[in-house]
A = this chain, B = another copy of it.
């Protein structure tokens, strides 16, 4: 089976770009941290571990490129930093996020959940939806458990 990296390489080529060593290193870091929501700086530091010669600007340029090609999604949880999230392959839409206001953890929801809502919006607001961003802010299950434990003490 063709690897994920290979497919991304093809996507780049189709769009007229090369998969340079720096770009590959960046993509690999993203692949190894699929569950996380890394900032450009985070990605930079991780890439640097294996390819110390890389520059921060290159990471930014690569992330911008990948965003353009819809290989990654750029998200912003309101803390002033952009974060980059690899799109699940074949995902028709962007997944949702649960941001914990206690511990800062970010969990993902891969399920769509918005089908009905989108149908309503398209019909009642006459808006042709291309993409969406849905983030819930609240308390994650870990912090809820922690609180319950503390109450019993």
Q: Which residues of A contact B (CB under 8 A)?
A: 74-76, 78, 82, 98, 101, 107, 109, 113-114, 116-118, 120-121, 125-141, 144
Contact (Cβ within 8 A) A126 B144: yes
Pick the contact of A130: B76, B101, B126, B127 (CB < 8 A): B101
| Bound: A75/B128 CA distance, A | 22
Which of B125, B129, B136 sits near A121, CB closer than 8 Å?
B136
Copies held by the complex: 2
Residue contact B137 to A134, C-beta cutoff 8 Å:
no
Report how far A137 CA is from B93 CA in the complex, Å: 12
A140 surroundings in chain B (CB, below 8 A): 127
Residues of chain B with a CB closer than 8 A to A127's CB: 98, 107, 136, 138-141
Residue among A75, A137, A144 with most chain B CB within 10 A: A137
Q: Are A138 and B133 within 8 A (Cβ)?
A: no
Q: Using CB atoms, name the residue of chain B closest to A135.
A: B133
